């Protein structure tokens, strides 16, 4: 049997029940999660090859109509590694975001800001052998949402990540360095430790920018690592 | 001081527009092709074809209509389509194992077809009863929720995970009702019959 993953530190993640983010109140389990040993069901998980992706999936500037989207052109790049600092190769990253005006291309988004006819806001890519990835997109706008009377989301890109197994599955959001909305964003503030939020804030990366074309932001992602001990659990009572 | 390791990137909610990046046709446009998770088992896969339907309810009993529901399961012989399954060479033909379903925007209904998985080896060589592994994403869910769905017409008595659930009456929150080849579930995020969610 393959080595199991290091247990998740639930105190580092947002709690389920975060009353300042109102929707969590009725959607949060109140009973303790059941802690279980990992079996093949949790160590395995969906894996994806390059045949699953289209040629322009990683280029959100052009992947809707071919004509360029409006907005501040950026690269988002980084590495996906695990808690043992090993690269996670072949991880699937799926991203979605609002356009430069803060509007989503989604039947349920009624924000008054306009759609960009050349921007869909979805993209995806696989990490390379060293865990690296690069996406090209435009910087999303901030947008209001119904929470408090005047609640705004800081600019963000949603990320869904499939690592090597279900235990590494992670969904999160990337923020941008210097965003003035950080301290009042009710979703960013679900994180109990400001150091955890820091991990989601991508710094400007001038060296990775493309002169006369695009700025760049760096977003490194850490997935759970595997236990290194060769000793296996014995069944209880054995 | 204990040894320090880099910490896992923290989770954030998927929000209500998760479909854009995962199932854009549900969001209302054509974007990523192919959309992933659209066939857990293709037509050439052997095994018993089944239909699964259900809903995920919030604390007020209202269905979660912006939900994204992900399934990961073994094939009819209990083999996962994954390099770390020691039997993967014998995986059924035309079998993927990964499925993705968006709840209906009007009534929250979740419906999909698949093949019934076989029993899966657990740790310590104890067999696990056939089950679907489920991962739930939605607005208001800060960390994606993991649970399992078992089959009401299987012998679940010896399943090592169900045996851990205490009090025992909560085990039934993970067991689907069977009606021939149709199975149905209700997942409750909160309340009197709150579903058992997993930390693994
Ligand atoms: Fe968002």
pLDDT at A141: 98
Q: Nearest CB to B199: which of A26, A35, A54?
A: A35
**Average pLDDT of every residue of chain A:** 95
Measure the CA–CA gap between A34 and B161, rounded to whole angstroms: 9
Q: Is residue A43 part of a domain?
A: no
pLDDT at A238 over 80: no
Measure the CA–CA gap between A123 and A207, rounded to whole angstroms: 23
Measure the CA–CA gap between A163 and B177, rounded to whole angstroms: 32
Chain A residues with beta carbon closer than 8 angstroms to that of B84: 2, 40, 43-44, 164-165
Asked if B198 lies within 8 A of A34 by C-beta distance, the reply is yes
**Residue B158: other Cβ atoms inside 10 A:** 12
pLDDT at B124: 79
SS3 (DSSP) at B21: helix
**Mean pLDDT lowest for which of A66-70, A229-233, B10-14, B151-155?**
A229-233
Q: Is residue A27 part of a domain?
A: no
pLDDT cut 90: percent of chain B above it? 96
> Is A20's Cβ below 8 Å from some Cβ in B?
no
Asked if B21 lies within 8 A of A29 by C-beta distance, the reply is no
The domain tally of chain A equals 1
Chosen for mutation from A5, A25, A31, A39 (greatest number of chain B CBs closer than 10 Å) is A39
pLDDT cut 70: percent of chain A above it? 95
Closest CA to A217 of A193, A200, A196: A200
pLDDT at A234 over 90: no
Measure the CA–CA gap between A210 and A190, rounded to whole angstroms: 34
Closest CA to A107 of B187, B106, B114, B4: B106
Measure the CA–CA gap between A189 and A192, rounded to whole angstroms: 7
Q: Nearest CB to A30: which of B126, B131, B194?
A: B194
Measure the CA–CA gap between B54 and B186, rounded to whole angstroms: 5
**Mean pLDDT lowest for which of A48-62, A106-120, A125-139?**
A48-62
SS3 (DSSP) at B14: coil
Query: Which neighbouring-strand residues pair with A96?
Result: A122, A158
Query: Which neighbouring-strand residues pair with A123?
Result: A95
pLDDT at B125: 76
pLDDT in tens, A156-187: 999 999 999 999 999 999 999 999 999 999 99
Task: Give residue for tokens 């009624």.
Answer: A110
Beta strand segments in chain A, E: 34-35, 73-82, 92-97, 122-126, 132-138, 143-145, 151-153, 156-162, 170-176, 201-202, 215-218, 221-223
pLDDT at A235 over 60: no
pLDDT at A105: 98
User: Is B145:A29 a contact under the CB 8 Å cutoff?
Assistant: yes
Q: Is residue A69 part of a domain?
A: yes
Asked if A197 lies within 8 A of B10 by C-beta distance, the reply is yes
pLDDT in tens, B109-140: 999 999 999 999 998 779 999 999 999 999 99
pLDDT in tens, A183-221: 999 999 999 999 999 999 999 999 999 999 999 999 999
pLDDT at A230: 59
Q: Tokens for B118?
A: 């076989």
Measure the CA–CA gap between A109 and A98, rounded to whole angstroms: 10
Average of pLDDT values for A122-149?
Answer: 97
Q: Is residue A18 part of a domain?
A: no
For residue A134, give its domain range: 57-222
Measure the CA–CA gap between B17 and B40, rounded to whole angstroms: 23
Q: Is residue A210 part of a domain?
A: yes
Q: Is residue A29 part of a domain?
A: no
Q: Find residues 8-67 of chain B whose CB sits inside 8 Å of chain A.
A: 8-22, 24, 27-29, 31-34, 36-37, 58-60, 62, 64, 66
Residue in chain A closest to B60 (alpha carbons) equals A26
Per DSSP, A87 falls in state B
pLDDT at A232: 59
Q: Is residue A161 part of a domain?
A: yes
Kind of pairing between the strands at B127-128 and B120-121: antiparallel
Average of pLDDT values for B38-52?
Answer: 98
Asked if A41 lies within 8 A of B123 by C-beta distance, the reply is no
Distance from CA of A162 to the nearest CA of B (A): 12
pLDDT in tens, A40-76: 999 999 999 988 899 999 999 999 999 999 999 999 9
| Cα atoms in the 13 Å half-sphere on the side-chain side of B98 | 14
pLDDT in tens, B69-109: 999 999 999 999 999 999 999 999 999 999 999 999 999 99
Closest CA to B34 of A117, A143, A124, A60: A124
ipTM summary value: 0.97
| Cα atoms in the 13 Å half-sphere on the side-chain side of B61 | 1
Q: Is residue A2 part of a domain?
A: no
pLDDT at B169: 97
Task: Give residue for tokens 């580092």.
Answer: A12
Chosen for mutation from B6, B9, B27 (greatest number of chain A CBs closer than 10 Å) is B9
> Is A61's Cβ below 8 Å from some Cβ in B?
no
pLDDT at A2: 79
Contacts of A67 (CB under 8 A, 6+ apart): A118
SS3 (DSSP) at A78: strand
Measure the CA–CA gap between A148 and B72, rounded to whole angstroms: 37
**Active site residue ranges of A:** 104, 143, 153, 156, 158
Measure the CA–CA gap between A63 and A4, rounded to whole angstroms: 38
**Average pLDDT of every residue of chain B:** 97
| Ligand 1 centroid distance, CA of B66 (Å) | 13
pLDDT cut 90: percent of chain A above it? 93
pLDDT at A237 over 80: no
Distance from CA of B31 to the nearest CA of A (A): 7
Q: Find residues 139-198 of chain A whose CB sits inside 8 Å of chain B.
A: 158, 160, 164-167, 169-173, 187-188, 190-191, 196-197
Q: CA quadruple A162, A167, A171, A177: dihedral positive or negative?
A: negative
Closest CA to A46 of B92, B112, B129, B135: B135
pLDDT at A228: 81
| Ligand 1 centroid distance, CA of B13 (Å) | 9
Asked if B9 lies within 8 A of A197 by C-beta distance, the reply is no
Measure the CA–CA gap between A172 and A221, rounded to whole angstroms: 10
> Is A25's Cβ below 8 Å from some Cβ in B?
yes
Q: Nearest CB to B21: which of A64, A94, A197?
A: A94
The domain that holds A182 is classified in CATH as: 2.60.130.10
pLDDT at A137: 98
Distance from CA of A201 to the nearest CA of B (A): 11
Number of residues in chain A: 238
Q: Nearest CB to B140: which of A23, A120, A158?
A: A23
Measure the CA–CA gap between A157 and A140, rounded to whole angstroms: 7
């Amino acid at each position: 049997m393959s080595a199991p993953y290091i247990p998740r530190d639930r105190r580092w993640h947002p709690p389920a029940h975060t009353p300042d983010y109102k929707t969590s109140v009725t959607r949060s389990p109140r009973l303790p999660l059941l802690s279980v040993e990992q079996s093949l069901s949790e160590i395995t998980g969906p894996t994806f090859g390059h045949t699953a992706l289209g040629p322009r999936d990683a280029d959100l500037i052009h992947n809707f109509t071919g004509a360029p989207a409006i907005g501040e052109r950026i690269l988002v790049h980084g590495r996906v590694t695990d808690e043992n600092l090993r690269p996670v190769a072949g991880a699937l990253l799926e991203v979605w975001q609002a356009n430069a005006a803060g509007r989503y291309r989604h039947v349920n988004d009624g924000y008054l800001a306009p759609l960009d006819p050349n921007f869909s806001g979805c993209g995806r890519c696989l990490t390379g052998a060293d865990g690296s990835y690069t996406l090209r997109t435009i910087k999303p706008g901030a947008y209001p949402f119904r929470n408090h009377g005047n609640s705004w989301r800081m600019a963000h890109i949603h990320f869904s990540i499939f690592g090597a197994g279900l235990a590494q599955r992670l969904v999160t959001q990337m923020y941008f360095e210097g965003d003035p909305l950080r301290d009042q964003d009710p979703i960013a503030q679900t994180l109990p430790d400001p150091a955890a939020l820091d991990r989601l804030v991508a710094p400007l990366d001038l060296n990775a920018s493309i002169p006369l074309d695009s700025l760049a932001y760096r977003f490194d992602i850490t997935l759970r690592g595997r236990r290194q001990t060769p000793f296996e659990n014995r069944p209880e009572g054995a | 001081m204990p040894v320090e390791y880099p910490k896992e990137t923290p989770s954030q909610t998927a929000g209500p527009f998760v479909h854009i990046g995962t199932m854009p046709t549900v969001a209302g446009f054509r974007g990523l092709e192919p959309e992933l998770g659209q066939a857990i088992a293709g037509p050439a896969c052997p095994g018993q074809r089944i239909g699964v339907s259900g809903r995920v309810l919030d604390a007020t009993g209202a269905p979660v209509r912006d939900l994204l529901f992900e399934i990961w399961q073994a094939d009819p012989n209990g083999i996962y389509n994954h390099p770390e399954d020691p039997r993967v060479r014998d995986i059924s033909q035309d079998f993927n194992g990964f499925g993705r379903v968006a709840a209906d925007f009007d009534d929250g209904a979740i419906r999909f077809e698949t093949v019934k998985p076989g029993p899966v080896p657990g740790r310590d060589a104890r067999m696990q009863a056939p089950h679907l592994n489920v991962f739930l994403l939605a607005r208001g869910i800060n960390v994606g929720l993991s649970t399992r769905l078992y089959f009401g017409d299987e012998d679940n008595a010896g399943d090592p995970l169900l045996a851990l659930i205490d009090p025992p009456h909560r085990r039934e929150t993970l067991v689907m009702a069977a009606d021939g080849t149709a199975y149905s579930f209700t997942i409750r995020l909160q309340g009197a019959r709150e579903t058992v969610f997993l930390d693994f």
